[in-house]
Amino acid sequence: MRSATCRRFRGAVLCTVLTAVLVVPSPTEARVVRIEIERVESPTFEGQSFGDVGPYEKLVGRVFGEVDPEAPQNAVITDIELAPRNARGLVEYAADLLILRPVDPSRGNSRIFYELNNRGRMLSLGQLNDARSGGNDPTTAADAGNGFLMRRGYTFVSSGWDATAAPDGTRLRVAVPIAVNPDGSPIVGPALEEFVVDNDSTLTGTLTYPAASRDTTRASLTVRTRYTDVPEPIDVGGWEYIDERTIRLRPPGTRFEQGRLYELAYPARDPRVAGLGLAAVRDAVAFLRHATADDEGTANPLAGSIEHVLTMGISQAARLLRDFVHLGFNADEGGRQVFDGVLNWIGGASGGFFNYRFAQPFRTHRQHIARRFPEREFPFANHLLTDPVTGRTDGRLERCRESRTCPRLMEANSANEYWVKGASLLHTDLAGDDLPDPPEVRFYLFSSLPHAAGIGSSGLGICRQPRNPLVANAGLRALLAALDEWVTTGAEPPASRVPRRADGSLVPPLPREMVGFPNIPGVLYTGLMSTGDLFDYGPDFAEGILTTLPPASAGAPYPVFVPRTDADGNDLAGIRLPAVAAPRATFTGWALRAPAFGGPDLCDAAGQQIDFPATRDDRLAGGDPRPSLEERYPHARAYVDAVAAAAEALARARLLLDEDVERIVREAETTSAGR
């Protein structure tokens, strides 16, 4: 019934299934077999009531699942065949679970909003609800923020998937087995660590996996300042293992140098079967959506109340969702669709170091950091394309199209992803030409925004210029509302808004004139960005196993582009939020590191805020080409009117909600009053 011909390629399993996708569930079907609710708080959020929906309650617990390692749907999981099995021949996992639901389920909207959390941390309440506290245990009224998700009646769910999330009691985690050799002996293989030192107090480096040997002659530690520098070897006597998971420089007490990148290649042991996290997400959602009870008769707390499931991933989690769909996990083993709608926020055109031997899901490419870990791997786009370098033909949606389980998908990115995450590869082919939108997908650029605004983003930090504080929260609320309508009613979402090659709004980063970025006094423009890198990780990479570490560079064959700017330096294309459409500063998605921190490499996830001169005299005295605030907005009402016009135009395009238009205009009035 489930025979298939499969082959692995670059971490994916490509299968030709010899039977229909919709199969009769078997006794060994991957599923949640037990749910344990350990704590119920009803009501939560200090009893706050959310409009017509009323108060919410919180359920905290775990789900326990089993995966059939012989099933074609699970063969994609690296090392699944080497995982210990229970008496039924299945591989087990256990994942943390959090549910926030209306106390009266009949007043909810019959939809799960599932947050695929980031390194075990929930971020969507901060992003969508403007909440500023709560972490993974939202409890107070403040933890609900503006109540956006609750006022709309969603049942909020998040569960563990990241086996490497910190075990500090504050993260949602998944427990997965360690792979072993067929004879039961430990698996030993090469692993790579990178230590990015942005302080002057680092004394040790922590390893993701235990070292198989504490002999430093079997490892290699190097150091460099900028990514493009040639790594300098550190003598085997210049460092040591403190224990199997920790290294330090010698003599003891020597600090790692601020502004330097250290890279350790070493023999590791005991790889976790990290790819089981993908199955844990699939099975948890399928259970909550479809099951009546677990195998022991414990009731599914959401049984019979769910019609649709929407999910959102932020940054790392968005990259996991891209791999989740690509590798076929949006179909459960019964052939049913898992997620109906997906909102990917700031994932770029990347996957991640998720489903590999000695995986490190927490790694993330930037121009300066983590470039030599597998993340940006073909296919990049949702379209079916042929890679001219490897000859491989694939697309991110091919598996779900075969099984008819593709979600409605929104790929939303900040400008930072175009500079450091290859976001242009989402909607350009490998010759650099525009691609049409697939029917299931829409693309959005939030113009001039950084990746990680709003989290410690004031001041310089490690950057050369003040960091960009703009956030996309209001725009993301509108996109989620549109995604919900697309899924539940079929209403077409707002048209894609991204820069395009055809109209000249998507361009190479150099020369400066091509981009249009102004020559602002004191602001260095280098055109530096992450390139379309390709690495050789050795002959077993197709099996999810990296044997050449550090990897050998195979160049940068994939063309990547950035948004063109207006004369102020703000992005021309995309969703120009009112702060960008009626600006008081130049906002960029890129920034440079300060010299003491490895500059002029890019400043990771940050952007810049470069304020306009206050007056014409200030502008002329400083030689600034950008009109001053006084010249732009000759009276206070002029600024408010400009903000209102920008906000109302976005609302007409369904890219802002009315409640956010009103709030944004009120904030503009406050700003203009204090000008």
pLDDT tens for residues 504-545?
999 999 999 999 999 999 999 999 999 988 999 999 999 999
- Confidence at 415, pLDDT banded by 50, 70, 90: very high
- Confidence at 39, pLDDT banded by 50, 70, 90: very high
AA letter at 539: P
- Confidence at 107, pLDDT banded by 50, 70, 90: very high
- pLDDT of amino acid 170: 87
The structural domains of the chain, with segments of one domain joined by +, span: 4-177+273-406, 188-269
- Confidence at 454, pLDDT banded by 50, 70, 90: low
Beta strand residue intervals within 532-643, DSSP E: 535-536, 552-553, 562-563, 585-588, 608-611
H helices of 424-544, where?
Answer: 473-489, 512-515
- pLDDT of amino acid 169: 82
- Confidence at 198, pLDDT banded by 50, 70, 90: very high
Would you say residue 28 has pLDDT above 60?
no
pLDDT digits (tens, 9 = 90+) for 62-98: 999 999 999 999 999 999 999 999 999 999 999 999 9
- pLDDT of amino acid 29: 63
Q: Which long-range contacts (CB under 8 A, 24 or more apart) does 196-202 make?
A: 196/261, 196/368, 196/369, 197/256, 197/257, 197/258, 197/259, 197/260, 197/261, 197/262, 198/258, 198/259, 198/462, 198/597, 199/258, 200/255, 200/258, 201/255, 202/255, 202/256
Give me the phi and psi of 190, to 5 degrees please. -75, 145
- Confidence at 30, pLDDT banded by 50, 70, 90: confident
Would you say residue 27 has pLDDT above 60?
no
Q: Give helix then strand counts, H and E, for the chain.
A: 13, 28
Structure tokens at 52: 């017509």
- pLDDT of amino acid 143: 97
Q: What is the mean pLDDT of residues 151-174?
A: 95
Give me the phi and psi of 508, to 5 degrees please. -65, 155
- pLDDT of amino acid 356: 98
- Confidence at 675, pLDDT banded by 50, 70, 90: low
- Please state the pTM of the whole predicted model: 0.95
The percent of residues in the chain predicted with pLDDT above 90, rounded, is 91
Would you say residue 344 has pLDDT above 90?
yes
* 363-378: burial string, b at 16+ Cβ within 10 Å, e else: bbbbbbbbbbbbbbbb
Would you say residue 134 has pLDDT above 80?
no
Would you say residue 17 has pLDDT above 60?
no
Would you say residue 9 has pLDDT above 50?
no
SS3 33: strand
- pLDDT of amino acid 7: 40
Q: What is the mean pLDDT of residues 168-181?
A: 95
- Confidence at 458, pLDDT banded by 50, 70, 90: low
pLDDT digits (tens, 9 = 90+) for 280-335: 999 999 999 999 999 999 999 999 999 999 999 999 999 999 999 999 999 998 99
- pLDDT of amino acid 135: 83
Task: Find the range with the poorest average confidence among 66-75, 454-463, 585-594, 605-614.
Answer: 454-463
Distance of CA 637 to CAs 581, 666, 674, Å? 16, 12, 12
Contact 111, 157 (CB under 8 A): no
CA distance 170 to 108: 28
